[in-house]
Amino acid sequence: MTLRGRLTAAFLAVVLGPVLLGAVFVGTTLAAVDRSRSTERLGLAASTVRTSVDALCQQLRAAADAVALRTDPAARAGAATQVVSRGLAGAVLVTDVAGTTTYATPGAPPTPWQDCSGDRTVAGPVRALSARVDLRDPAGVALGTVAAAQVVDPAFVARLAAATGVAVTLLDGPAAPDRVTHTTESNRVREAVLAAASTVDGDRVTETPDGRYVRRLGPSPGQPLPLVLSVPGEQPAGLPAVLVGAVLLAAVLAVLAAWRLARVTTRPLVELAGAVDRVARGDLTARVPVRSRDEIGRLAGAFNRMTRETASYVAALTSSRDQLRGHLAVLGDTLASTHDLQRILRVILHSALAATGARAGAVLLLDPDGVLVGQCAEGLDDRVPDAEPLRVPLGTGVIGAVAATGEPQRGRVEPAEAPAGEPRCETYVAVPFAAPGGAEPAGREPAVGVLALYDRLGGEEFDDDDLATLRTFAGHAAVAVENVRVHEEAQRLSLTDPLTGLWNYRYLRESLRREVERASRFGRMLSILALDVDRFKRVNDTYGHTAGDVVLAEFARRIRGEIREVDLAFRQGGEEFVVLLPETDARGAAIVAERLGAAVRDTPIVVDEHVAITVTVSIGIAVYPDHASTGQQVLDAADEALYAAKAAGRDGYRVTGLRPDAVTEEIPVPAGAVSPDDELPRAGPAATRAAEGSSRQAAAVPAPTAGVTQPATGGASSGPHPPRQSRGR
């Protein structure tokens, strides 16, 4: 072949090779990107479906629990009707131990219902999704089950589709992938979607002939519904024809150019063409020998420099991409798996240091005193004066100014201008972060914290890219701080009574179990006081429920003021309260009971400037292990003693009788508002806490009795004990 032929062929290879490769690359890349995006959308939709179904199941389980707590059938039916009327469930079904339906709310869908646990699969179409709980009497005997259900209808499927952003199809069952119960797909694509769904299982995604992507979801634990998710592809129509036309046009132009240039081009062009072809195939080590100083030689030199720089850029981009992916993966896993603020902030700081190349850094949070306190730091051991913990007042120095103004700062620090109390450095960058969702514009209120980095590797100053990167990590820190605070507040609210601020009945059960276990393990005593405000119904009837709330709140405040820090006070329900006294015998409990009675009786409760109400309290006392062997039994024993105090005329306390197997000498403790005859300290303002402390922490003494003839054992359940109904006042 002649030189012209060789140059023409080389030119065509150089030109058409990249064009063809580019066309194939564009086509395959767009297809891959389309599939990747669709797969990601289906993955997010699947996660959303699982989350939605799990949230619905939790709601249904809570509704079933609310019905199961009622012991009376009529009250249970009323609770079921209330649950349905409030929209917590679509229907409630109560069955006995034999599986016979004893009550069902009107309009309940036909059974069987698909259970949320996924243990049992309904044969045929799914009519309802249900959560089932056991129904037991106060003694723990099984009475049957309570099931709360949500109707699965086209509206339910439509809500799932709206929440996920994809089309949702509910199948008749996992064994019937070609039969549809409900769907949001159009009739035009329904058959193609079902045909594609029947060929896949698990989390795999398949494509229909018309360019839609399909994924099956469930049934599985936590998501028992057999669903099919589908989404249309985003690849432009007619793309193959456009690519073919571009390739053909490029081929024609290449032939014409090759015929013209072949006459004036020499061998170096062939070498250049070969090198370009290697680069087009991904080999960035290709080089062209420079044989002359003419245009071809300069072109060869420029090509060699281009490939070297490209290889460096690709290597740097690959390393940066992999590093960033790793940091984001670790950060995402940490944010999703823990509420440990210190751990989250350490991961954010480490990721920010690695992403920007900084040598040192710190995360500071604003405390209630207006001081930024370092929560975690790295590389500051030799930068902070005297190795003291990092503390910067708001508005002072670089960090304080960033927090006060809400504006990030970066720059270089001269040795003579280094802010006092801040780390020594040459360059710095500091970014504030505030709680997400704030109503005030950025910069008008102090930030909740600051993320600061110091001395970039290589000595260069931090640039705008570093600032943008740091803003991202500061945003994660703000979300982490807010999530932890919301989590802690939710935990507090779930365990406290909103009216009185005391612990609620749920925490009483947990605390009683824990304190009984501790007393049993260490051989100590635990006293329980059951308190009831006397004639509280008369207060409500006379002064109104608002005044009753004031009385209960003030009563709770006086309880807190008369007990130790280690003691626990609870509102059990209505006007009934419980106090746990760890390491306290009956004598010490009697001291506390007398002082509580005096604290309530001696000072009227002021409702407003015209109304002051005087109330009294009746108290029942029981001691573990003298009066009962379990936490629930000792609580029931205290309740019986409370009944005895009520029967004895109120405004006093009673101690329950000893267990039949306890060998002690009974010491009578008379009831009333005065001190007993056994030299116990008198309650009231003159009572000394020293006497209480010595008595409550002394060795266990025989428990006094006050007329409770029945022992506090037998018939007491160790299971959940709902709040008792208010007794007559």
Active site positions, annotated: 575
d(CA 382, CA 387): 7
Alpha helix ranges (H) inside 69-105: 73-85
Query: 70 with 136: CB under 8 angstroms?
Result: no
State the DSSP H helix or E strand holding residue 11, giving kind and residue range, or none if neither: helix 3-68
The DSSP code sequence of 316-343 is HHHHHHHHHHHHHHHHHHHHHH---HHH
Query: What's the full length of the chain, in residues?
Result: 729
Instruction: Please report, as a single letter, which amino acid is at residue 7.
Output: L
Q: What is the DSSP secondary-structure string of 255-313?
A: HHHHHHHTTT--HHHHHHHHHHHHHHTT-TT-------SSHHHHHHHHHHHHHHHHHHH
Amino acid letter, residue 723: P
541 vs 481, 545, 577, 604, 719, CA distance in Å? Answer: 47, 8, 21, 18, 35
Peptide bond into 112 cis (omega under 30): yes
- DSSP code string of 113-134: PEETT-SSPPSS---EEEEEEE
DSSP per position, 373-394: EEEEEES-TTTSGGGPPPEEET
C-beta neighbour count of 205 within 10 angstroms: 20
Using DSSP, state whether 372 is helix, strand or coil.
strand
DSSP-assigned letters across all residues of 550-580: HHHHHHHHHHHHHS-SS-EEEEEETTEEEEE
Q: Please list, in sequence order, all residues whose beta carbon lies within 8 angstroms of the beta carbon of residue 100, skipping any fewer than 6 positions away.
A: none
- What's phi and psi for 713, nearest 5 deg? -135, 160
Q: Would you state the torsion angle of the CA atoms of residues 631, 636, 639, 641, taken in this order, to the nearest 10 degrees?
A: -100
Which residues, at least 6 apart from 610, have a Cβ–Cβ distance to it below 8 Å?
none
Cα torsion angle, 578, 581, 584, 589, sign: negative
Q: Of 715, 714, 712, which is closest to residue 703 (Cα–Cα)?
A: 712
What whole-number distance in Å separates Cα of residue 535 and Cα of residue 577? 15
Q: Which residues pair with 653 in a beta bridge?
A: 619
Pairing of strands 227-232, 212-217: antiparallel
Q: Which amino acid is at 365?
A: L
